[in-house]
Amino acid sequence: MKVPIIIDSRVEDSDEEEKVFPKPVVEDRNIEFAKRCTELISDVTYKEQYEKSKGKCAFVPDTLTLKNVSDSISETKYKEAGKKGLSNSLYKLMPATVDTAFAKEVTQLQSKVLYRQKYDAEKGKSSYAQMQEPPDMKHAKEVNRHQSNVSYKKDALDIHKYTEVLDRPDIQKAKETAKFISNIGYKKGREDMNKESVVLGRPDFEHAKEASKLSSQVKYKEKFVKEMKGKKPSYNPLDSASFKQAQAANALASNVKYRKHLQDIHDPSIDMPNLLYLQHALKTSKMQSNNMYKKQFEENKGIYHFALDTAEQIHHKENAVLQSQFKYKEKYEKSKGRSMLEFVDTPSYQVSKEAQKIQSEKEYRKDLEEGIKGKGLMGLEDTPDLIRVKNAGHILNEKKKK
| Percent over 70 (pLDDT), the chain | 61
Residues 264, 270 contacting (CB under 8 angstroms):
yes
Q: Is 6 helix (H, G, I), strand (E, B) or coil?
A: coil
CB-count burial class (<10 Å; 0-12, 13-18, 19+) for 312? exposed
Which distant-in-sequence residues (6+ apart) come within 8 Å of 307 by Cβ?
313
Residue 61 falls inside a structural domain: no
Q: How many domains are there within the chain?
A: 1
Residue 366 falls inside a structural domain: no
For the entire predicted model, the pTM comes to 0.14
Residues 88, 150 contacting (CB under 8 angstroms):
no
Round to whole Å and give the CA distance between 135 and 133: 7
Neighbour-count burial for 258-282, b at 16+ CB within 10 Å, e otherwise: eeeeeeeeebeeeeebbeeeeeeee
Predicted confidence at residue 11, as pLDDT, reads 45
Q: Which range marks the domain in which residue 119 is found?
A: 14-49+67-142
Residue 30 falls inside a structural domain: yes
The gap from C-alpha 193 to its chain's centroid, in whole angstroms, comes to: 27
Round to whole Å and give the CA distance between 39 and 302: 124
Residues 199, 205 contacting (CB under 8 angstroms):
yes
Neighbour-count burial for 178-194, b at 16+ CB within 10 Å, e otherwise: eeeeeeeeeeeeeeeee
Neighbours of 146 (CB within 10 A): 10
Angle between helical axes of 218-227 and 384-401 (0-180°, round to 10): 130
Predicted confidence at residue 269, as pLDDT, reads 47
Distances (CA, A) of 248 to 94, 251, 389, 398, 402: 152, 5, 17, 17, 18
Residue 233 falls inside a structural domain: no
Residue 368 falls inside a structural domain: no
- In 3D, which of 281, 269, 282, 270 has the Cα closest to residue 340? 281
Residue 21 falls inside a structural domain: yes
Residues 24, 31 contacting (CB under 8 angstroms):
yes
Predicted confidence at residue 354, as pLDDT, reads 82
Neighbours of 100 (CB within 10 A): 20
Angle between helical axes of 347-367 and 203-216 (0-180°, round to 10): 30
What residue type is 205 in one-letter code? F
Neighbour-count burial for 16-38, b at 16+ CB within 10 Å, e otherwise: eeeeeeeeeeeeeeeeeeeeeee
Residue 159 falls inside a structural domain: no
Residue 373 falls inside a structural domain: no
Which distant-in-sequence residues (6+ apart) come within 8 Å of 55 by Cβ?
139
Backbone angles phi, psi at 266, to 5 degrees: -85, -5
Mean pLDDT per segment of 10 residues, for the chain of length 402 residues? 47 49 61 84 81 66 66 79 69 69 85 82 67 78 82 68 65 82 73 57 77 75 72 64 80 74 57 62 80 75 59 80 78 67 63 80 74 55 74 82 70
